[in-house]
Structure 1
Amino acid sequence: MLLAVLFSHTEGNILVERFHGVPTEERLHWRSFLVKLGADNLKGAKNEELFVASHKSVYIVYTVLGDACIYVVGKDEYDELALAEVLLVIISSMKDVCVKPPTEHRFLNKYGRICLCLDDCLEGVTGELRER
């Protein structure tokens, strides 16, 4: 199950998030946990360098792209390999939408298109993985 996709600015501001099957009362915990995880590990990371973590039987794959940190969280069949595939699809679509590595300004200017592409990616990827 794909639990969450979250984009944040490198300084910790949440840019966009999608939660699936995560109770509302747990979302704040996940937001703060993911932003702290990125703050601790993504300083000096190269664009598109993938990082993997696990927490409470879930997997987290995350990276930095320009000024945006991208986190993908899943469990069960969405292990670190499946999440890496999801993240690569998201990265590719963000590069297409933003043309250049996203800054916070560029990300916010293209916010509607980014949300649309993200929703399409997640729908396509989760359907593809369910078929396997």
Structure 2
Amino acid sequence: MILAVLFANSVGNVLIERFNGVPAEERLHWRTFLVKLGADNLKGVKNEELLVACHKSVYIVYTMLGDVSIFLVGKDEYDELALAETIYIITAAVKDVCGKPPTERVFLDKYGRICLCLDEIVWNGLLENTDKDRIKRLIRLKPPSEV
């Protein structure tokens, strides 16, 4: 299961977070841990260079995309390889929506469409869609007859 998907800006403010199967009382711990992990390790990292960590028997894959850092937390069948595939799909979708690796401003301007993409990619903690063209069609918000 994918336990968390979190986007943060360069100073550690959370832009988007999605938790699946994580109790509400543990979310603050995870949020704080992931932002600190990014602050400690993402300085000087190239765009889309993946970093991997392990914490409390879960896997964490994270990267930078423009001014935004992206974190995925998974367990069981979502090990570092599955999370790497998932983060690749997420970064491709975000770049597609924003037109390039996003600045924080562009990311926030496209917030709604990014959330739609995220919902199509990860649903209830499971990887749902991996095809970039299908994700594009699904986020158009048009009736299926016009697709």
TM-score tier by shorter-chain length is: over 0.9
Deviation at residue 128 of structure 1 after TM alignment: 6.7
Counterpart in the other structure of 1:66: 66
Alignment of 1:71-86 (within 5 A): 71-86=71-86
* Gapped regions of structure 2 (runs ≥ 5): 131-147
Report percent identity of matched pairs: 70
Counterpart in the other structure of 2:20: 20
Counterpart in the other structure of 2:50: 50
Counterpart in the other structure of 2:92: 92
Greater share of helix: 1
Q: Highest CA radius of gyration, 1 or 2?
A: 2
SS of equivalent to 2:7 = strand
Contact kept? 2:120, 2:128, Cα under 8 Å: no
Distance in 2 between residues matched to 1:6 and 1:110, nearest whole Å: 16
Distance in 1 between residues matched to 2:36 and 2:109, nearest whole Å: 26
Distance in 2 between residues matched to 1:105 and 1:75, nearest whole Å: 32
Distance in 2 between residues matched to 1:7 and 1:23, nearest whole Å: 19
Q: Deviations over 1:49-104 (max 9, x none)?
A: 00000000000000000000000000000000000000000000001001121111
Counterpart in the other structure of 1:126: 127
Counterpart in the other structure of 2:3: 3
Distance in 2 between residues matched to 1:79 and 1:106, nearest whole Å: 31
SS of equivalent to 2:122 = helix
Q: TM-score scaled by structure 1? A: 0.93
Distance in 2 between residues matched to 1:15 and 1:97, nearest whole Å: 16
Distance in 1 between residues matched to 2:128 and 2:99, nearest whole Å: 27
Distance in 2 between residues matched to 1:104 and 1:25, nearest whole Å: 28
Counterpart in the other structure of 1:112: 112
Moved over 3 A (4+): none
